[in-house]
Structure 1
Amino acid sequence: MICFIVNGVAGNGRGHKVWKHVERLLLEKQIDYYVVFTEGPKHATNIARELAKQKNANVVIAIGGDGTLHEIANGLAGSEIPLGSIPAGSGNDFARGLQIPKQSEQALEKALSGQKRKIDIAHINHEVFINVAGIGFDAQVAKVTNQAKYKKWLNRLGLGAFCYVFSFFKVLFRYQPTEVRLVIDEREHTFTDVWLVAVANTPFYGGGMIICPQAQYDDGLLHLCIVHGISRWKLVTLLPRVFFGTHIYDDAVTILTGRRIKIMSSTPLTAHGDGEILGEPPLELAIKQEGLYIM
């Protein structure tokens, strides 16, 4: 059985529009399917977990954004059921990282007839994330973005990827950098005046920002980007470079890799995984190789 999990409100209603288009394609192709619409936070996780428990789906295809995929991955991780994606969110960074087409028809074809394979996933305090987790400035920006009214209007204009940029400037002048201690595979690192620590399984987050250009979903490693010892003005000038991945050559950026990571901070900081707010340090993160099947 093919199961679709649809977040109709993703992308300010784009999820519903994409589903209607996909539904017509399924009828034209005479493909049997089952569909469930999410009704609130964590609902997609519960649906996916039940499907994995009952083992009554051949593939689960998500129609939504990275938040929807984050939830479904938490339900399917460790099972034999592969996850397919038809992008319908604001950023769609998971689709970008796995080269899933933006066009619904092509994405559907790939989800139905593509190759089943395993990818790495990661855990942050026992919750799965598939793209990027982070603490500090970027997590606060993610939090503001999720709550912002302008997110709805930018999505309507097809400019959802700019939500992060708008929120960046909203947070910029109030945020205070702090000291962060990292333990990476038993090696300790301390950084002062830290703006953010991003931990990546794939290169992209924030609607196309290439935060860790070398990150790959099948290399068995987590890639860290630490931005520290930089003024607000310098942070602003660094932002455009993140869309090209060239920020990593700046002296204010440190890139590290590891399999198991502990993050501690001298002051309370917001943490996120795939843009979903998950709490505060201390945090423990670990890579889980081949932890999720995808199409």
Structure 2
Amino acid sequence: MRTKILFIINPVSGIGRQKNIEEIIHSELDLNKWSVDIAYTKYKGHALELSLAAAGNYAIVVAVGGDGTVNETGRGLINSSTALGIIPTGSGNGLARHLEIPFKINKALEVISQAKLKAIDVIKINDYYSLNVAGIGFDAYISHQFANRKNRGPLAYMQLITKEFMTYKSSVYRVTIGDQTRDWDAFLISFANSSQYGNNVYIAPQARIDDGLIDVCLIRDFPKFTAPALLISMLDQSIDRNRYDLIVKSPKVIVEHTSDLLGHVDGEPVNLGKKAEVEIMHLALKVVAPDIHLRQIQNLFSPIREMLPVINRN
């Protein structure tokens, strides 16, 4: 009996690598093993509708798109028997990068075909769900501004950040972690399930996606001239050692503000009201992911494999 798999494809996400995806799926997958269905999203929220209908009826539902498509698809599968697969075709692909899912479509399909499942945590923030990183502050402000732009992609995103950075002002938030409540003057507060936003920009280098804890990353107000060093620390995974950054692991955090909080969930803008209650849902979602330890071993021996033809010729 063939295993049922559904591909949810966002035809307009990211950089358009999902073109001809149907032909690639049917050529790469063993159709004697898999019963394949394909659906295309037609509007925002459609991937969620499709995955909710598919939960429990398919073994795997694959999101073909960027972080928004992955989030919508994954949300519909929370606490179900159906696993989330990912073919990353967006511009950030934060969760896919953390899980080390290949960016070549045929390689991503190889991972899906092997069907190795891993249970991961999900972050709940008020009535929203994050698989990767959520937050408030500057990154959320940029998310709201970017949502209204016609020009997309990493370059447009960086141009917006550069434009808004110099005039953006930090704000005071009341933060409760455990039995400790404190007011913080913060540039941003991120709630990290995985280690990075996307594009190898790391906000929580030590984050684990299955430890039952949120990495609460609070970047305090800092002199603008130190921004290049802060950015470098995000790229070289040393942000947790930056003097203006505080990271606390906790299963729950509450953030309050005197005015409505602008937030983002996996890069998508949301409005959180004056109080954001953030908590972890431990191992609430199954994902299809490569065996990272096996890949590390293979990478270790790859130089030896490359030398073998030379050795044999000699």
Corresponding residue of 1:97: 98
Residue 181 of structure 1 deviates from its aligned partner by: 1.0
Residue 146 of structure 1 deviates from its aligned partner by: 3.3
Pair 1:183-2:181 in alignment:
no
Q: Check 1:257–1:164 CA distance in 2 against 1; reply closer, same or farther (3 A cut).
A: farther
Residue 26 of structure 1 deviates from its aligned partner by: 4.0
Pair 1:147-2:148 in alignment:
yes
The letter of the residue matching 2:96 is A
Pair 1:288-2:281 in alignment:
yes
- Structure 1 or 2, whichever has the larger Rg, is 2
TM-align CA RMSD: 2.0
Percent of aligned pairs sharing the same letter: 30
Deviation sequence 1:248-288 (CA, Å, 0-9, x none): 22221111111111111244442011001121341111001
Corresponding residue of 2:190: 198
What is the SS of the residue equivalent to 2:181?
A: strand
Residue 43 of structure 1 deviates from its aligned partner by: 0.7
Q: Give 5+ residue unaligned stretches, structure 1.
A: 155-159
Corresponding residue of 1:109: 110
Deviation sequence 1:83-141 (CA, Å, 0-9, x none): 11111101111110001111111111111213122111110113211000000101112
2:167 to 174, 177, 183: 174
Corresponding residue of 2:199: 207
CA–CA distance in 2 between the matches of 1:292 and 1:72?
11
Corresponding residue of 2:294: none
Residue 176 of structure 1 deviates from its aligned partner by: 1.6
Q: Give 5+ residue unaligned stretches, structure 2.
A: 289-314
More divergent stretch after superposition (86-95 vs 11-20): 11-20
Matched length:
284
CA–CA distance in 2 between the matches of 1:68 and 1:43?
9
The letter of the residue matching 2:146 is T
The letter of the residue matching 1:117 is K
- Asked if structure 2 preserves the Cα contact closer than 8 Å seen for 1:118 and 1:293, the reply is yes
What is the SS of the residue equivalent to 1:287?
A: strand
Corresponding residue of 1:157: none
1:277 to 269, 284, 293: 269
